Amino acid sequence: MQIWRNPNIKSFAQSVPDFISGKSTPRNFLERCIETIKSRDKTVKAFVTLNLKAARKAADESTRRYRAGALLSPVDGCPVGIKDIIATADMPTQMNNSVFRGWRSGQDAACVHALRQGGAVILGKTVTTEFAIARSGPTTNPFDATRTPGGSSSGSAAAVGAGMAPVALGTQTQASTLRPASFCGAVGFKPTLGALHTAGVHPLSASADHLGVIGATLDDVWRTASQISLGVGSPGYGFLNGAGVTPAPLKPRRLIRLYGRGWSEVDAATAAQFDQALEALAGSGVELVSRDNNGDVAAFEQELINGVDGSLDIVGYEMKWPFADYIARYGDLIGERIHGLIKRANAMTPAEYKALLVTRTRLRTRWRDVLAIAGADAYVTLASSGPAIKGLEYTGSRTFLIYGSWLGVPAFSLPLLVLDGLPFGVQLLGAPDADGALAATVGWMMRGLL
């Protein structure tokens, strides 16, 4: 089994001891990121906007706090890229759509506010597909410029994968954080629905939109997510389960392997790499159950396959505002895919939409119950159908990722697998509201398989 090791990665978390000892500083770390941006972003095209003057000022302020031993949070001094559907007071938020060219919200999104309050260094805005669901941007894969970085958090994943930033914020309504993380060789985290505050993030689907984090390591990702959670909370939810210090690695006793509809998309070489990863887990004493040897899992997986198409109908129905208004005002300046989703939504009745929500609620409960019945710690599957595909227009299949987004359960993409020099991820999914326990399992897997 080949294990992916990203040669570009810059981990902020791993650099903190040097900041504390005085061996290095947040300003030095930032300058290393900027050097990489200057050398690579003409090809990778991860950033839409940079605010280097403000970033350097923030890094210098953080450097002084380290010297004084007066840190604001565990992300004090950490450079962060912000997906360009997330509002920033000091930079435009343009959604990869000409209608919003140069548009400024006049305030920070809740997540950006929490990061600034914790001393993080807001580096710039990263490329998104149009409104995080339609036309692709110019970003290329950091390991092959002829391939997609994935979407919709294209620039965020490419920036981390290329070593331009240790962390970047993404969003996920269907596959938009974990798929690009998989393609770009980074750690991706999509928390339980509602665990991270989404105010100031341009909406797609109120009951499916997640804020996500892409980072160099699990520790980088968890620090960032925790600061957002503890900094602003989340209305009606509270705080990210396990927020704070990164959970200690904990070996799982049993995992449920999910095939799902995506398995039919996987070629033999990709399947072999994933199967070898599962064999390594089994060799470490982790028991694996699946539809092949467990009737409850087999029945539940079929329910997921039968119901998952309703996930896109929910998204489309909930997109009617503001996108029907955008189409009425701006016509063809709004992408063709969005026109199609709104047309599809307009053909649905409220009763049909409600029935989809009932099905989703039932299967979310079943998701937790099947874990308990099987005595399993998490579900394991692929984070994409393989390495990044050729071309930039299509950002790749979302089939493996859609289950976790649809049901709103926590999920990680782990940068473990490689094929022909290109990375792709293993996905772990946990029980709703058990993000901390899932992170502990991720920590063990990253340590155990690497």
Structure tokens at 322: 């503001």
Phi, psi of 411 (to 5 degrees): -150, 145
Could you tell me whether strands 378-382 and 254-257 are parallel, antiparallel, or unpaired per DSSP bridges?
Answer: parallel
Question: Structure tokens of 72?
Answer: 């604001």
The candidate with the shortest Cα–Cα distance to 183, out of 196, 170, 192, is 170
Q: Is residue 189 part of a domain?
A: yes
The answer for 184, left when phi > 0, alpha when psi is -120 to 50, beta otherwise, is alpha
195-209: average pLDDT: 98
In a domain, 17, yes or no: yes
* pLDDT exceeds cutoff 90 at 382: yes
- pLDDT tier at 294, thresholds 50, 70, 90: very high
What DSSP string runs through 136-154?
--S--BTTBTTB---SSSH
The tens digit of pLDDT for each residue in 126-171 reads 999 999 999 999 999 999 999 999 999 999 999 999 999 999 999 9
Query: d(Cα 224, Cα 165) in Å, to the nearest integer?
Result: 13
Q: What is the pLDDT of residues 31-76, one digit of tens each?
A: 999 999 999 999 999 999 999 999 999 999 999 999 999 999 999 9
Where in 141-195 does DSSP place strands (E)?
A: 167-172, 187-190
Does residue 333 lie within any of the structural domains? no
Residue at 2 is within a domain? no
| DSSP notation for 345-405 | HHTS-HHHHHHHHHHHHHHHHHHHHHHHHHT-SEEEEESSSSSPPBBSS-----TTTHHHH
Contact 155, 82 (CB under 8 A): no
Mean pLDDT, rounded, for 166-180: 98
Calpha distance 228→413 (Å, rounded): 20
| pTM (predicted TM-score) | 0.98
| CA 250 distance to own-chain centroid | 22
- How many domains does the structure of the chain reveal? 1
Active-site residue numbers? 83, 152, 176
What is the CA 437 to chain-centroid distance, rounded? 18
Nearest to 3 by CA among 258, 276, 188: 276
Given a cut of 80, whether residue 448 has pLDDT beyond it is no
Give phi and psi for 378, each to the nearest 5. -165, 170
Residue 428: strand, helix, or coil:
strand
| Helix/strand/coil (H/E/C) assignment for every residue in 258-280 | CCCHHHHHCCHHHHHHHHHHHHH
- The encoded tokens of residue 335 equal 């992408």
305-339, pLDDT tens digit by residue?
Answer: 999 999 999 999 999 999 999 999 999 999 999 99
Q: Identify the domain containing residue 202 by its residue range.
A: 12-245
Residue identified by tokens 């339609």 is 134
Strand, helix or coil at 181? Answer: helix
Query: Does position 261 have pLDDT exceeding 70, yes or no?
Result: yes
In this predicted structure, the answer to whether residue 246 has a pLDDT above a threshold of 80 is yes
For residue 334, give the DSSP letter.
S
Position 254 in a domain: no
* Helix, strand, coil percentages for the chain (3-state, nearest 5): 45, 15, 40
Six token digits for residue 216: 């160099």
Q: State the amino acid at position 302 in one-letter form.
A: Q
Nearest to residue 33, comparing CAs of 3, 54, 65, 11? 11
Q: State the angle between helix axes of 320-330 and 336-346 in degrees (0 to 180), rounded to the nearest 10.
A: 120
48, 94 in Cβ contact below 8 A?
yes
The size of the chain, in residues, is 450
- Checking if the pLDDT of 450 tops 70, the result is no
Q: What is the mean pLDDT of residues 396-417?
A: 98
Query: In the numeric block, which tokens belong to residue 155?
Result: 């620039």
Report whether pLDDT(361) > 70. Answer: yes
Kindly calculate the radius of gyration of the chain based on its CA atoms and give it in whole angstroms: 21
Report the distance separating Cα 1 and Cα 12, nearest Å.
28
Confidence of residue 12 (pLDDT cuts 50, 70, 90): very high
Confirm whether 283 is domain-assigned.
Answer: no
Tell me if 260 is assigned to some domain: no
CATH of residue 167: 3.90.1300.10
Structural domain contains residue 191: yes
Q: What is the pLDDT of residue 360?
A: 98
Residues 203, 87: contact at Cβ < 8 Å?
no
Which residues does residue 379 pair with via DSSP β-bridges, in sequence order?
256, 429
Q: Sign (positive/negative) of CA torsion 133, 136, 141, 142?
A: negative
